[in-house]
Structure 1
Amino acid sequence: MASSHFAHTRLDRRSFLGRGAMFAALAGCSPRVAFAAAETDRRFVFIIQRGAADGLSILSPTGDPAFARLRAAAAEQGGTRLDGMFALHAALPKTAVLYRNGQALFAHAIASPYRDRSHFDGQNVLETGAASAFQLRDGWMNRMLGIVPPADRSAIAVAATVPLALRGSHDVASYAPSELPDASDDLLQRVTMLYQDDAQLHALWDEAMQTRTIAAGLGDGDVNQGAAIGKLAATLLRADKGARIATVETSGWDTHFNQEKRLTAVLSGLDAMIDSLRTGLGPVWDQTVVLVATEFGRTAAVNGTGGTDHGTGAAAMLLGGAVKGGRIVSDWPGLGPNQLYENRDLRPTMQLDAFIAGAVAQHFGTDPARTLATLFPKAGNVRPTEGLIRT
């Protein structure tokens, strides 16, 4: 019989981008940025975990007796115990502090309507908000721009390309990577040394180097890179005339082998990114919501190479000062042999569509039913999740 667990327990952009463009062109690399004009303190950030992040390791159900049999290594690595059922991965210490401070909420056994296991199709559903792949051409975040208050309709993609989630009929502009070939590390070091004694040029060059680091995105778990991406995103979001809505893409979550080592690395990068974003936003963090979600989860059992394969149920996060946190929301299905989806995966009991629509509606003060119908028009008879954001 399934058990249940429900714990009750948010610079000047033009000059920044202009200077970044000039120097990043010399460096041979820059991010693509999409933006649309705004004047409120509310911020919304979507961090996409590409590759199917393993929620069972990120937020381990250590209170489920079947977990230790399926995931001995994950059960032994401990982590930060959040309540009697769940422990947060040890590579997320800053995120654990947010949880203790009531600024992080986790949803487990959650999934989009997609039930196959193709990255390409799963990411299409995650970003378009459809019920199946290629039903819709635009992204749910682009449609969101049409219903949030006018002052909040400025969006930016901190990524090499504008992700599908932000593409659609609402105007965006892109800040494309330079077409110049990549500069060598030796050249970059020489230019750095050339400018190190010039107060103005050194500051500009340092800014350009931070911009350059995000072009490849967070993929190998580099903590410094994660922190740089978070800092840049915060700079763009905090600007008086800057964006209010953003996407950040991360990769490295497809852990078919040697999962514990690889997941520890990429989670460390994500933790640094989130902490840097929080620090960089300063007081604006109190009006910020950060959504972290993936296309689907991974198998309950570990495979023969110390990894996991493509699965179904996953975990999602809401972070930020605007989040009603310090809680884990889950109708836990259990990990016993008769409780798994298709005898292999965590069974989804929560709908990601409802979770996202509820967070957006509560954060921006939009009508919940209209928000759900706009962002997820194929969702059917679904009610937006309530009580996610502070009132």
Structure 2
Amino acid sequence: MAAHTGFLLKRRGFLASIGALGASSVLPKVSLSATAGDRRLVVILLRGGMDGVDLVQPYGDPNFALLRPELALTPATGLTDLNGFFGLHPAASGLMPLWRAGHLSFAHAIASPYRGRVSHFDAQDVIETGNPVGSGSRTGWLNRALAVIPRTASRAAVDITTSVELIMTGGNKTDVWATQSDFPMAPDEIRSLQTLLQTDPVFDKAGAGMSGLDPLPQIVNSQARTAGVAELARLAGSLLAEDYRVASFSLAGWDTHRDQKRDFTESARLLSEAVLNLQAGMGEAAWQQTAVVAITEFGRTLRLNSTAGTDHGTASAALLAGGAIAGGRILCDWSGLAEGQLFDGRDLAPTRDIRELLAALLFQQFDITATNLNAKVFPGLGFEPSSLFIKMN
């Protein structure tokens, strides 16, 4: 089935062998003007647990609509078809020009080593440190990677935030740039605050009854959030167009415990805005040498809960964008959504470790050796360069 492909990314070092490859090869053309020092990497953290099965819907799996009759779409009902099996949520359809240009792919059914389905904090620690829960590590994998990038100029890193996030924390220099300190709260953040306020009358009084408000119409300013995301992403792009080669920033709003259809639509739209404004801020020359990856701490349950939302799950999807990406592909080993194929009987089953994808990007973009990736960036991962190019099934 066309849905089953591996991690397929561009790689300059394989140019010489392209002519000898068979029809099953998926190695794309690479610009001969690219130089090692031009390559860039952007990591976007999707905080809250992004539902990959909603963003990239497996409408070709007959069990999908049975599990999610309220959310499942098809190309006939608004889904944007990607490859005859998967389709893109309509709120993210603004990304389709990148797909058609070969600058957008998705890695599906992937997950970090976290299996707790309870704590956002523990799960986010795992994707930011690159180590399992309980490792005690307080340095980020992206910061550790800076130390083993062969070219000094390629180590220039920036975190687009008000303070350094864990993913960029460590002994290697990282700059911090903030677009604004009063970034509008996402719906899931507001609901978490409401829950806190409801449990304590003193806090509730201090919040002027905020716990009883419906967050979207009265608190969340959608236009302000859109403008904030656009500003943040354009800033990241403009910095990468100059001296920076590594950047990260976060997008909240993915904890869709309630009314997923409404809240997920808003978050997916903002993700699209972020990627497109990142590209615009960067300019075409820098974009051609850039790999963008958007990752999340865990996915969501396949069945909706009693409040029309989804609970914490396991596997999700990662977005890959940029001129350095072999675009127009769904990268996954799809295990299916039949009852016996679900993880714990409720989630999309993980088939690949998300750290493999991240290691592949570091290997591709900055020539970090497999030895350094496995010993210093993702200790014990066992990454092999051959895993970049898995033959299509």
User: Do these two structures clear the TM 0.5 threshold for a shared fold by scoring above it?
Assistant: yes
Q: How does 1:1-391 map to 2 (within 5 A)?
A: 5-7=3-5, 40-76=37-73, 78-117=78-117, 118-148=119-149, 149-174=151-176, 211-212=179-180, 216=183, 219=186, 222-239=225-242, 242-282=243-283, 283-379=285-381, 381-383=382-384, 385-387=387-389
Stretches of 4+ aligned residues off by more than 6 angstroms? none
Matched-pair identity in %: 39
5+ residue gaps, structure 1 = 11-38, 178-210
Contact 1:217-1:249 within 8 A present in 2 as well: no
Deviation of the 1:223 alpha carbon:
2.5
Contact 1:80-1:89 within 8 A present in 2 as well: yes
Deviation of the 1:281 alpha carbon:
0.9
* Count, aligned residues: 320
CA distance in 2: counterparts of 1:333 and 1:111, whole angstroms: 14
5+ residue gaps, structure 2 = 10-35, 188-221
> Which amino acid letter does the alignment assign opposite residue 4 of structure 2?
F
CA distance in 2: counterparts of 1:218 and 1:227, whole angstroms: 15
- TM-score, normalising length: structure 1: 0.77
Deviation of the 1:173 alpha carbon:
4.5
> Which amino acid letter does the alignment assign opposite residue 251 of structure 2?
T
Contact 2:143-2:167 within 8 A present in 1 as well: yes
Deviations 1:329-385 (A, max 9, x none): 111111111111111111000110111101110111222342233221042x44354
CA distance in 2: counterparts of 1:83 and 1:218, whole angstroms: 35
Deviation of the 1:217 alpha carbon:
7.0
- TM-score, normalising length: structure 2: 0.77
CA distance in 2: counterparts of 1:250 and 1:226, whole angstroms: 8
> Which amino acid letter does the alignment assign opposite residue 323 of structure 1?
I
3-state secondary structure, aligned to 1:270? helix
CA distance in 2: counterparts of 1:383 and 1:135, whole angstroms: 26
- State the match for 1:192 in structure 2: none
CA separation of 1:155 and 1:245: change in aligned 2, threshold 3 A:
same
Contact 1:66-1:335 within 8 A present in 2 as well: yes
Contact 1:63-1:85 within 8 A present in 2 as well: yes
CA distance in 2: counterparts of 1:167 and 1:374, whole angstroms: 15
CA distance in 2: counterparts of 1:250 and 1:131, whole angstroms: 23
Contact 1:354-1:372 within 8 A present in 2 as well: no
> Which amino acid letter does the alignment assign opposite residue 89 of structure 2?
H
Deviating more after overlay: 369-378 vs 227-236: 369-378
Deviation of the 1:4 alpha carbon:
8.6
CA separation of 1:231 and 1:125: change in aligned 2, threshold 3 A:
same
Contact 1:324-1:387 within 8 A present in 2 as well: no
Contact 1:111-1:351 within 8 A present in 2 as well: yes
> Which amino acid letter does the alignment assign opposite residue 165 of structure 1?
I
Contact 2:2-2:83 within 8 A present in 1 as well: no
CA separation of 1:233 and 1:173: change in aligned 2, threshold 3 A:
closer
